[in-house]
Chain A
Amino acid sequence: MATHGEIAIAPHRFAYGYYRQVWWNWLIGTAFFCGGLGAGLFLVSLATGEPVGMIAGWLLVTVGKNTAHLFFLGRPERFWRAAMRPDRSWIARGIWATGFFAVAGFLCFAPHVLGPAWMLSGTAGAAVQWVAAISALFIMFYDGFVMNSSGAIPFWNSALLPLLVLMYASLGGTTLSLLLRAVTGGGQEHMAWLGLQEKWLLVGNAALLGAYLYRMSRWQPAARETVRMLVRGRFAWAFVGLVLAIGLGATLLLTFAAERFRSEWLLPVVAACELTGDFTLLIVWLKSGLFSPQTAPHALNTVSKQEPA
């Protein structure tokens, strides 16, 4: 049983200790993954005028993310109710952003699919592109706010989380954009720039992860216990092995190798490594979340040293 000091993970709700987050599972992780990746890919593709990437990103969000959300919900037939309170809930804001993205994103690539009759010109075209870009950007980071608005799980309750989620969405989008260009042969003029962006994002994400863990290792006991589980506890194989070693380390090395040897066949391997790290990060962040022990505030960490009355 994992422990921090003298506090263990409680095996059930009648026992004292940290309580594991069991509510949000791999389906939420998949929804966050598809949302971030799709919106990131769409945004990169919109900025570089690559319609295949826009379509793939749009499908990842509208089909992948929304399907995972619907499978997760206890009452999926009432999903529309989740949009009712955008003034208070980040989930509701996310629903609205996804709705705007679905419409505006479709209009952005519609001329490439349905013909020039769908082309919006002038102010309307620019407005649609702006709406699509802003809603995509929102989808890239709002998952971080959904998680960090929960003060119940100290490890998530950090202002760095939306930034981390945004950075990973940007990295995933860039990686997938590079892969799509290698496969389709389109948009080759942006390959060098995207390759450079990929490397900087990998370094930036590693630095941000380090800062996050450092901050959390000095935060509340439940957050410290999560850091311990990630670095040398039950999730170390996933976090250190898949997120750090494969998702960041191997991806960076292979990106350099792909450039050095001009071997585009390495790009699918690069994408597989990066996306593995990206997905694993979301899953371990969800699974390693801990609730604080229920005890008197003046007794936390000291109760076991008390003398009997």
Chain B
Amino acid sequence: MARLGMVIDLKRCVGCNSCTLSCKQENGTPAGMHFARVVTREVGEYPRTRRTFLPLLCNHCEDAPCEKACPTGATYIRADGIVMVAKEKCIGCRACAVSCPYMNRHFIEEGFLGHGYAGGELSPFEAVKFGAFEEGTMSKCTLCAHRVDEGLEPACVTTCPTEARIFGDWDEPEGKLQKLVRERNGWTLLPECKTRPKVFYLDA
């Protein structure tokens, strides 16, 4: 069975936030909720400074702490390794959010789905897309499971103009993910948390 994941090449990332926007468009997340985001940081000292970019999304960890912390079993891991939330089982205790070191869980507050980006009524797009969410429950990046099930790549991968995001299967020994990580010493975020993320990064 596949173990789906991603490698993000920081040498290619230009911090354009196309992934952030394409994710919002694909998943129709409410205002203020970002399954994909890019953390920007200025490093160095004047005059030798530069900006670094770190694209973030759910790491779909193999030892997912959110799945362990969930008291109801609402958070589960699919056979292909994608970490999902069954919203009908979620009670909104937020234990998963507290246990995720990557801050990739999102709580949908009461009234959150009542108004759209423009502030007033929901647009037709929002009215359809917000139907996938439920107030009082948690939501998260699904690695675009609905697209993956149709043989497509996640929206953030397809949209990235520099092809910094590489999507694939970790179970393929000679696949592109394994190869890139081996060749360029890929690393994961916060390895001390021992969550075994399936999203790896390559140095800039």
A-side interface residues toward B, CB under 8 Å? Answer: 13-16, 19, 21, 23-24, 72-76, 78-79, 81-85, 88-89, 91-92, 95, 146, 149-153, 220, 289, 291-292, 294-298, 303-304, 306-309
Contact = CB atoms under 8 A, between A and B. Distances in A.
A89 B69 contact: yes
Query: In terms of DSSP, what is the predominant structure of the interface of chain A?
Result: loop
B93 A73 contact: yes
A149 B69 contact: yes
A24 B107 CA distance: 11
Interface residues of B, number: 58
Interface in B128-156: 134-138
Contacts of B107: 23, 74
22 contacts: A13-B37, A21-B98, A23-B98, A73-B93, A74-B107, A74-B136, A75-B91, A75-B137, A78-B72, A78-B89, A85-B71, A88-B68, A89-B70, A89-B95, A151-B99, A151-B101, A294-B189, A295-B54, A297-B192, A303-B41, A308-B44, A308-B50
A292 B102 CA distance: 8
A290 B171 CA distance: 34
B116 interface: no
Contacts of B204: 309
B187 A296 contact: yes
Contacts of A291: 101, 103
B38 A13 contact: no
Q: Which 3 residue pairs of A and B lie closest in terms of their CB atoms, listed nearest first?
A: A74-B92, A74-B136, A152-B101
Nearest to B194: A151
A39 B135 CA distance: 33
Interface string B68-79: 111111100000
Contacts of A303: 41, 43, 52
A296 to B, nearest CB: 6
Nearest to B38: A14
Given A84-B71, A294-B54, 14 more contacts: A23-B98, A74-B94, A74-B107, A75-B92, A78-B72, A78-B90, A81-B73, A85-B72, A91-B69, A91-B71, A149-B68, A294-B103, A297-B192, A298-B187
B84 to A, nearest CB: 16
